[in-house]
């Protein structure tokens, strides 16, 4: 990958991943507000805003982070299947994206309940759920682990990476008979 393109993809990957991380932090805050607010209107508003915000922010950022990460790994010496830390990052991102897409049904259900609950009912407890807090906290933990792997890049080649490394060494240093 040419250096300019590699830097562009790296910038896109870092931006989308940091954006995803920030959006998850906002979802933790919204979830805590929805869980703890005594005001029924606030609780309804939180659950009404979560579904569209997830579709327009979390889902696109997760898919963009996954896509740019794959492109970035294929265009650098790290490779996609050569180092364990890259594989773990890929696994974390794929699992987090799948869980998010699956959880969108829960967001829809909570938004439907919030939309059907009238402000005169006054009972915000019918809407409260610890599930969004738990899911968002676990997403944050996973994204922070992936970020840590990116920064520290722990050693360890996969079997595929070891074979590729030996092949590169053999090509550059052929044995003399």
Q: How confident is the model at residue 77, as a pLDDT?
A: 83
Average model confidence (pLDDT) for the chain? 91
Looking at the predicted structure, is the pLDDT value of residue 174 above 90?
A: no
Flag whether pLDDT at 123 surpasses 80.
no
The average pLDDT across 27-53 equals 95
pLDDT tens for 67-108 read 999 999 998 888 899 999 999 999 999 999 999 999 999 999
* Section 121-143 average pLDDT: 87
**73-99 burial, b for 16+ CB within 10 Å, e for fewer?**
bebeeebbebbebbbebbebbeebbee
Six-digit token pair at 83? 């180092």
Alpha-helical segments (H) within 37-125: 40-53, 59-74, 84-116
Q: Which range in 58-67, 79-88, 148-157, 160-169 is most confidently predicted, on average pLDDT?
A: 58-67
Query: Alpha-carbon distance 27 to 50, whole Å?
Result: 8
Mean pLDDT for the stretch of residues 112-116? 90
Q: Where does the pLDDT of residue 27 fall: very low under 50, low under 70, confident under 90, or very high at 90 and above? A: very high
Angstrom distance (rounded) from CA 5 to CA 146: 23
Break the chain into its structural domains and give their ranges.
3-171
């Amino acid at each position: 990958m040419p250096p300019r393109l590699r830097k562009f993809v790296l910038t896109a990957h870092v931006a989308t991943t940091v954006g995803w991380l920030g959006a998850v932090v906002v979802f933790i805050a919204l979830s805590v507000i929805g869980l703890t607010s005594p005001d029924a209107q606030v609780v309804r508003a939180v659950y009404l805003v979560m579904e569209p915000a997830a579709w327009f922010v979390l889902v696109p950022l997760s898919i963009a982070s996954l896509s740019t990460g794959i492109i970035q790994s294929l265009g650098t010496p790290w490779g996609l299947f050569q180092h364990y830390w890259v594989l773990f990052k890929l696994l974390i991102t794929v699992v987090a994206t799948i869980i998010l897409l699956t959880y969108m049904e829960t967001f829809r259900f909570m938004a439907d309940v919030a939309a059907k609950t009238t402000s005169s009912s006054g009972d915000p407890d019918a809407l409260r759920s610890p599930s969004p807090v738990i899911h968002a906290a676990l997403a944050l933990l996973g994204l922070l682990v992936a970020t840590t792997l990116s920064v520290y890049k722990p050693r360890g080649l996969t079997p595929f990476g070891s074979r590729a490394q030996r092949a590169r060494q053999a090509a550059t240093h052929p044995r003399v008979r």
